[in-house]
Structure 1
């Protein structure tokens, strides 16, 4: 969302040169509004002029998430609803989405004038024990994808309301992945472990897919089974680095388990961990977003996009492939 709209039009300069003229309009815009249980949330933009002492036009253009309840509620209730949207946005973007500041207004604490009139309450900055760290957090070092999984126009008030209803029952696979994206300076091992935790949780909820019995240990489902379900669900083509999806699932699960279990010896090769983490995080992001109503077509398109293919291209450039269910590096 942006408060700035611009139009470019050609014109002829007095010197007969052809140039372009750009006209800008700056005004706050209003986006979606939707219900999250008892709360109504809405998106809008808020702009202000900065840098008055320096040449040029300088604007700060913020996107604001506003929440309202019919009756006064504790601040913690508002923040809980905000975080549901923040986690969704982080998963869509592939990078941390953090609130720069919080403001609160309550008409019960309005200003009274000398003549007895009541002046509307102003917004006041809010800092709590749960938000102070976020306000001073540095931007996430997580590498964002070239473009988000979903475009803004592909979100609807129905899909946002659905996400909020499903959130509490989906925390096991939302929070590990989303928290990784919202942190800076994350180790590659942390990325892989958190993404894999989400994959295990969501994979266990998904129904069986074809050929998954090849990943079982006897009649017992394994970590590879859940990776395989996610890979098949989002439909990525990994044929450039692996013979089939089952072998890729085994390689991802093996790398994750080697990190997790000390009795397996040393940590995996650094390159293998890096790429396993990138792949796992991409897979779980796509699998979670695909659950949104109407998002399946967008995920099918994204599965063939450059952000996905780029991971495989970089693996090939570094000589990393999958052989017999393990990552291997060739000289």
Structure 2
């Protein structure tokens, strides 16, 4: 048997031509071209009508019924590619001797040929995924360098060590999750230059006792990815997956298995994220917590409460992780999250000031107040009280949400509510890890709130009382200045 040949990687715009195999005995192979675009993997198959040429009868039936074979294999000169969960993606009718063309979109594309029947669903034991911000958040590196100096203190050499540090591991339901470094080394040279490149990146790894569908791995990955979106406060994309399983062996020429490598898997569920622009370091900024602060215990705690808190997590992370969003969308989604969080938090001291005055029952303002009181943020003199802020958020949410409350609220008020809401849900999420004591301590001391204060000062407003009313500080300042001028004018003249 020949040594395995595999397709190492596919990038946007790449294509592979080969023969398509459906696994049905005696069905002829047909030519096909696989292309990867920002909408996913698509396989195009030219064919003639089945009634005209028997070779294409099965393909003609796929597209007439809009129901291709579930799993397919594409044999190419670069290696074999397996296509799982294939769906009809369009076709042009063929008539007479004219050539038709059909398109198939797989749910998952494995850049390798696994063992077993082609009709069997894809299951894998281990999956490694990469995403935006993971290197920065984890602060893990497989590369260490130390300069060596001569007797005059000048750099004479550099010692570079490439070795993966200890991984971080925790249990997440039935899966074992890990955050670890991976590295590869490559040399390139031409007639002029040569270089040695070490790729040094961090992955999230999920492993199960028994092979599972890729979707199960993705579900566990998303739980971690959602936490990172809260911590960074910006959109983050999952960009790459590599899977490993005993059914994916690498063989020597004689057929002996010498390895079970990690091979690339392209998923239709994450391909649009991969197509998004990679964020700059400036766009990422600094996370509220890094891996060393959260630790394995914090990640396990986050995973343990995730399902209970999903009515808080999902609306908030959906809007924070969106690249294009309206201010009103932020208010709607984060307020829904605060309402859910307030119900989970339960009663807090002083909340009766936010109750419905007629019926004496909790209101939307009560649920927001519980979140604010739990965090204990000291906002400063631009927000009168936690009760006033809770009512301001509740009032703004109600007026944005319900058409029978008249016109939309003032856009400045809505914007400032969105800023505060986003900060509050991010801090609540960090608090769910059990690792946010120091982080909250800084906010309770007011040392981390300069951006919020700046927004209020720039827009010259403040929340003035427990009813959540907004007033203009420009008018206050004008009134104060006028009073000072009047008082000065009323003083007796000191001139003789």
Which structure has more strand as a fraction of its residues? 2
The alignment status of 1:31 with 2:167, answered yes or no, reads: yes
Matched residue, 2:436 = 295
| Structure 1 residue 296, shift from structure 2 partner | 3.1
Q: Could you tell me the TM-score, scaled by structure 2's length?
A: 0.59
Matched residue, 2:268 = 129
Matched residue, 2:415 = 274
Which range is displaced more, 162-171 or 264-273?
A: 264-273
Matched residue, 1:242 = 383
Which range is displaced more, 300-309 or 149-158?
A: 300-309
| Structure 1 residue 181, shift from structure 2 partner | 2.1
Q: Deviations over 1:80-117 (max 9, x none)?
A: 11111111121122223322211112221213333231
Contact 2:168–2:179 (Cα < 8 Å) also in 1: yes
Contact 1:234–1:299 (Cα < 8 Å) also in 2: yes
Partners of 1:177 and 1:78 in 2: how far apart?
A: 22
| Structure 1 residue 300, shift from structure 2 partner | 2.2
Q: 1:241 to 1:20 in 2, by over 3 A?
A: farther
Q: 1:234 to 1:10 in 2, by over 3 A?
A: farther
| SS of residue paired to 1:200 | helix
Partners of 2:394 and 2:215 in 1: how far apart?
A: 38
Higher Rg of the two aligned structures = 2
Matched residue, 1:320 = 461
Q: 1:160 to 1:222 in 2, by over 3 A?
A: same
Partners of 2:419 and 2:226 in 1: how far apart?
A: 18
| Structure 2 alignment gaps of length 5 or more | 1-138, 475-496
Partners of 1:326 and 1:148 in 2: how far apart?
A: 33
| SS of residue paired to 2:423 | helix
Partners of 2:329 and 2:269 in 1: how far apart?
A: 23
Partners of 2:195 and 2:413 in 1: how far apart?
A: 48
Q: 1:266 to 1:83 in 2, by over 3 A?
A: same
The alignment status of 1:227 with 2:227, answered yes or no, reads: no
Q: Which has the higher contact order (CA 8 A, sep 6+)?
A: 1
Corresponding residue pairs, total: 327
Matched residue, 1:154 = 293
Which range is displaced more, 65-74 or 156-165?
A: 156-165
Q: 1:32 to 1:214 in 2, by over 3 A?
A: same
Matched residue, 1:258 = 399
Partners of 2:395 and 2:343 in 1: how far apart?
A: 18
| Structure 1 residue 123, shift from structure 2 partner | 2.1
| Structure 1 residue 280, shift from structure 2 partner | 0.5
Matched residue, 2:277 = 138
Contact 1:254–1:326 (Cα < 8 Å) also in 2: no
Contact 1:278–1:311 (Cα < 8 Å) also in 2: yes
Q: Deviations over 1:138-190 (max 9, x none)?
A: 3579x968532223212222221222122112110011111122210111111
Q: 1:8 to 1:200 in 2, by over 3 A?
A: farther
